[in-house]
Amino acid sequence: MIMKQLPITTYGMEILRKKTIPVKDVDMNIIETVGNMFYTMEKADGVGLAAPQVDIDKAIAVIDVSHYDEYAHIKPFVIINPVIEESHGLWHAEEGCLSIPGIKLNIPRAEKIYVTYYDLDMNEVNLEADKLLGRVLQHEIDHLNGKLFTDLIDEDEKKRIKRDLRDIKKGLIETGYKLLINEEKIR
């Protein structure tokens, strides 16, 4: 199967604000989509990518934190229909998003989470995650629920980045990866 780099949806697009549709079964289309999502995430130097970020309305995300030493033992994986069952503590750390390029913000997230999801074989998986892996999972699960990391900042911070967000909406940004802007332009 030849992998395809998919354009990444950008801030302001409606699909990033919609709750995704749960996956009922995995077919060849889903398998191909997941392969393309991993390829796209790698080309964009990301650690996570949710289906709405490639204009697909399904509850799927891919995660790869293996290039960090402490996570070298964790192979890249897919999460289907994930649910955060429990969360504990609070941890602030810098976060960015491939759909909101150029903006990095200090975001509060749960320090530890317990997640239930399905793998590509539709086997249920229960995972306890903290630190970076927990943060990436929370970020991607938020995407599947129509929530962006910019929703987690205070009003002063929102005012500070307002112009940058407007520029992203207008496509006045440069990245090293393909973007889908205003649902029509691919750059």
The token duo for 93 is 């750390």
CA distance 177 to 126: 33
Q: Which 3 state secondary structure label does DSSP give 121?
A: coil
The active-site residue, picked from 111, 140, 155, 174, is 140
Do 122 and 113 contact (CB within 8 A), yes or no? no
Strands 60-63 and 105-109: unpaired
Do 181 and 166 contact (CB within 8 A), yes or no? no
- Residue 14 identity: E
Do 62 and 38 contact (CB within 8 A), yes or no? yes
The burial of 169, by beta-carbon neighbours within 10 Å (0-12 exposed, 13-18 middle, 19 or more buried), is given as middle
Do you know the residue count of the chain? 187
- Residue 17 identity: R
155 a catalytic residue: no
Q: Which 3 state secondary structure label does DSSP give 183?
A: coil
So which residues are the catalytic ones?
140
